A = this chain, B = another copy of it.
Amino acid sequence: MTTEVSTSTEVSMQAIEAQLAELKTRIDVLDKKSTEDKVSMIVFSGDLDKILASFVIATGSVAMGMEAVMFFTFWGTPVLRDKKKQVGGKDTIGKMFGKMLPTGTGDVKLSKMNMGGMGTAMMKALMKKKNVASLEQMLAMAEELDVKIYVCEMSMDLMGFKREEMIDYKGLTFCGVAKFLEEAKNSRIQLFI
């Protein structure tokens, strides 16, 4: 009788091994689908209020133990220009864009109630009074917190911006939308701002 039991045990054993393998395969699939504690943002807008919001979210995410990735594209791109850097050798359209678009964080306007700059100035004064970090401080904080900044190459090219005129920022990377989508795909949170 013991032999019988042993045989049936062996059979069950094989069945169990098979089940284990199946569960393992299913977990492997789920593993590939699972995301990381990461927030990925497309910073499309170049408005002071929306840029501020994106940095509040980025730094807040890191404070909560998440990674943060910001992909600056279109109107968001000129916000990362460095006022102190002058670059020559641009064609006519490049020069035009260069003048019309804001040069860095100090030049950015509110999306509403700008009122010829008065609303923006008022908001900045208010932020100072209320101890809300300025865009410049936010950027420095983000750099310290290892917030990753990607800059859209297509936007750079369209607007005639050169890499040499962008801010110094640890780990700033110039890339295409594919690189961003890769990050976003593995992120818990994705936002288009």
Contact = CB atoms under 8 A, between A and B. Distances in A.
Interface of A: 1-3, 5-6, 9-10, 12-13, 16-17, 19-20, 23-24, 26-27, 30-31, 33-35, 37, 39, 42, 44, 46, 49-50, 53, 56-57, 60-61, 63-64, 66, 73-75, 93, 96, 100, 111-113, 122-123, 126-127, 130, 132, 154, 157-158, 176-178, 181-182, 184-185, 188-193
A26 B16 contact: no
A189 B190 CA distance: 6
* Main SS at interface, chain A: helix
Nearest to A192: B191
Given A19-B20, A33-B35, A74-B53, A181 B60 contact: yes
Query: How many chain copies?
Result: 3
6 contacts: A20-B20, A39-B181, A44-B50, A46-B112, A60-B177, A192-B193
